[in-house]
Amino acid sequence: MSVRYTPVSWTPFKWWFDAALLAGVALYLWVFTWLARGGLDEATVAIRARGTLAFILLTLALAIGPLARLDRRFLPLLYNRRHLGVITALVAASHAMAVLDWHFAYSPTPPWLAVLVSEPGVTQWPGTPFIPFGIMALLILAVLAATSHDFWLAFLGPPLWKAIHMSLYLAYALVVAHVAFGQLQAATQPGLAVLVALGAGGLIFLHLAAALRGEAWTAIAAPEAPWLIVGHARDIADGRAVVMRPAGAEAVAVFRNGQALSAISHLCAHQNGPLGEGRVLDGCVTCPWHGFQYRLEDGRAPPPFTEKVATYRLRLMGDQVWLDPRPNPPGTYVEPLRA
């Protein structure tokens, strides 16, 4: 879809999304600070406001994926999740800076050293150090924010890029540990505990619900190996796909475009988005995540774009569609099935 790399290709929708996000961020910090003004010193209020905000944003970033699976109307948010990720990393960094500038400044020991050596040994309980968890989470967020751009996606390749970006879950676990071994140990108010429990619990619930709602069709072996039975041709709606998950192989999307049936990889060449949840527009499968397009017959993006995905062979047996789960090299032409 894109052969040039621009920093961000802005659309009015992205502007609105980012505007809403930044408004939410500003409002949160303002309300938190304004309310907490009474007791604590200013720097401590800033540390707590930014820390809790980073946790909330990280929770939202991880919730968008399963939400979009559960309700497709959330899909457009996936499109802009990277901006949310970058803002989260910036808020987390500003939390860390506020801590360095307050708890670790004004000392003969340099702040970066002090932050590493001021807590006792890891094995201590109670009093297990909690700062290292936060530092590790921040490092992960920084790496993810820095590699969030399409350049890195192309440079590393979608599978590696996606694997690296899955470490967001590790970052979340580290943040929970950072709070649990830190501020929660001394908490006399329930606010933070409720936030962490609802955030982490909500995420687990959403992910389970999305996983249970897998929309893939079960692959049934046809009488003749290696073919799999997809099902009745008429059950595939026009412009849509059914997704098959053959055992031990990549998922396949079987699309209908009018009378023609074609099978291509379920994984988009961009970020491994779910092509089978996309639609046929202008004769091309359109990825629901960022709108990359692929021709049905050869899995290639229309020129001038160069992305391509694997295609698969289909066969009609009576009114049943069969699929050969062995992928053709990406971009291989396969004559569509008429049914």
Residues forming contacts to ligand FES in the complex (CB under 6 A) are: 268, 270-271, 273, 287, 289-292
Other beta carbons within 10 angstroms of residue 85's beta carbon come to 20
Beta bridge partners of 293: 286
CB atoms near residue 237 (< 10 Å): 10
Q: Alpha carbon of 269 to those of 43, 164, 216, 282, 310: distances in Å?
A: 46, 16, 20, 19, 9
Site for another protein in 216-275 (CB under 8 A): none
**Both tokens assigned to 328:** 């053709």
13's tokens: 């929708």
Q: What is the per-residue burial (b if ≥16 Cβ within 10 Å, else e) of 258-290?
A: eebbbbbbbbbbbbbbbbbbbebeeebbbbbbb
According to DSSP, residue 302 is labeled P
Q: Exactly one of 87, 131, 140, 196 binds another protein (CB under 8 A); which one? A: 131
Token pair listed for 104: 């670790």
- The interface region with another protein, picked from 90-98, 146-154, 179-187, 253-261 by CB under 8 A, is 179-187
Closest Cα to residue 276, out of 302, 296, 258?
296
Compute CA distances 81 → 63, 64, 73, whole Å: 10, 8, 14
User: Per CB under 8 A, does 154 bind another protein?
Assistant: no
User: What residues from 78 to 107 belong to the interface with another protein (CB under 8 A)?
Assistant: 79-80, 102-107
CB of 198 to ligand FES, least distance (A): 30
* Residue closer to another protein, measured from CB, 9 or 218: 9
* Residue 167 interacting with another protein (CB under 8 A): no
Q: Which does 109 bind (CB under 5 to 8 A by kind): ligand FES, another protein, none?
A: another protein
* Partner whose footprint covers residue 48, from ligand FES, another protein, none (CB < 5 to 8 Å by kind): another protein
Write down the least CB distance from residue 233 to another protein, Å: 21
- In the complex, what is the shortest distance from the CB of residue 68 to another protein, in angstroms, rounded to a whole number? 12
* 214 binding another protein? (CB under 8 A): no
From the list another protein, ligand FES, none, pick the one residue 271 interacts with, judged by a Cβ distance below 5 to 8 Å according to partner type.
ligand FES
Q: Which does 207 bind (CB under 5 to 8 A by kind): another protein, ligand FES, none?
A: none
Closest to another protein by CB, 11 or 218: 11
- Among 241, 268, 265, residue whose Cα is nearest residue 79: 268
Q: Is 195 in the site for another protein (CB under 8 A)?
A: yes
Cis ω for the linkage preceding 325 (within 30 of 0): no
Which of another protein, ligand FES, none does residue 273 bind to, with CB < 5 to 8 Å depending on kind?
Answer: ligand FES
Query: Total number of residues binding another protein (CB under 8 A)?
Result: 80
The one among 4, 34, 223, 282 contacting another protein by CB under 8 A: 34
Cβ 323 to ligand FES shortest distance, Å: 22
User: In the chain, what is the straight-line distance between the N-terminal and C-terminal CA atoms, in Å?
Assistant: 30
**Smallest distance, Å, CB 252 to another protein?**
21
Can you tell me which of 38, 223, 248, 329 binds another protein, judged by CB under 8 A?
A: 38
- Region 267-286 residues binding another protein, contact defined as CB under 8 A: 278-279, 281, 286
Contacts of 156 (CB under 8 A, 6+ apart): 147, 164
